[in-house]
Amino acid sequence: MDYKNLIEESKKAREKAYVPYSKFPVGAALLAEDGTVYHGCNIENSGYSMTNCAERTAFFKAVSEGVRTFTALAVTGDTKGPISPCGACRQVIAEFCEGSMPVYLTNLDGALSETTVAELLPGAFSKGDLDFAAKK
């Protein structure tokens, strides 16, 4: 699937957002290696901290189905410029994706930032950091 279609999928995912508190729907579309697209929306809660972002919803859906290899991610929100994923989502994205994987950040007005997983979270804490201590 090309990136323009993946962005369209993220807009469809956004329509499912559960956002009674922020009224700020976000959609994510995560492309798996086999071509399957996993939709994610933000899901809020009256206990605000239990809110799950669109990006993490998409990853958790895929991983819970046994899928861990991804080739692209698109995210859309009604922001002035391209939407900016939060820190928690950047860490989850870094857990499952190569640094070179493309990430398409967009808004409803057609702004687009084509970035990568590594650019989203330089210096991410990773499994390698844990392995170093375990080897001692």
Ligand X SMILES: O=c1ccn([C@H]2C[C@H](O)[C@@H](CO)O2)c(=O)[nH]1
Return the active site residues.
Answer: 55
Q: Is 53 known to sit in a ligand binding site? A: yes
What is the x/- site pattern for ligand X, positions 15-54, by CB under 6 A?
----x--x-x-x---------------x-x------x-xx
Q: Is 42 one of the annotated binding-site residues?
A: yes
Residue 22 interacting entry, from Zn ion, ligand X, none, C-beta within 5 to 8 Å by type = ligand X
Residue nearest to Zn ion (CB): 53
Give the count of beta carbons closer than 10 Å to the beta carbon of residue 38.
22
Burial track 8-24 (b if 16+ CB lie within 10 A, e otherwise)? bbbeebbeebeeeeeee
125 binds, among Zn ion, ligand X, none (CB under 5 to 8 A by kind): none
Tell me how far apart the alpha carbons of residues 81 and 79 are, in angstroms, rounded to a whole number.
Answer: 5
Distance separating alpha carbons of residues 44 and 131, to the nearest angstrom: 35
* Residue 86 annotated as binding site: yes
Smallest CA-to-CA distance from 56 within 79, 87, 34, 33 is with 87
Residues in contact with Zn ion by the rule CB under 5 A: 53, 86, 89
Question: Is residue 83 a known part of a binding site?
Answer: no
Contact 79, 109 (CB under 8 A): no
Which of 24/125 has CB closer to ligand X? 24
Residues forming contacts to ligand X in the complex (CB under 6 A) are 19, 22, 24, 26, 42, 44, 51, 53-55, 75, 77, 83, 85-86, 89
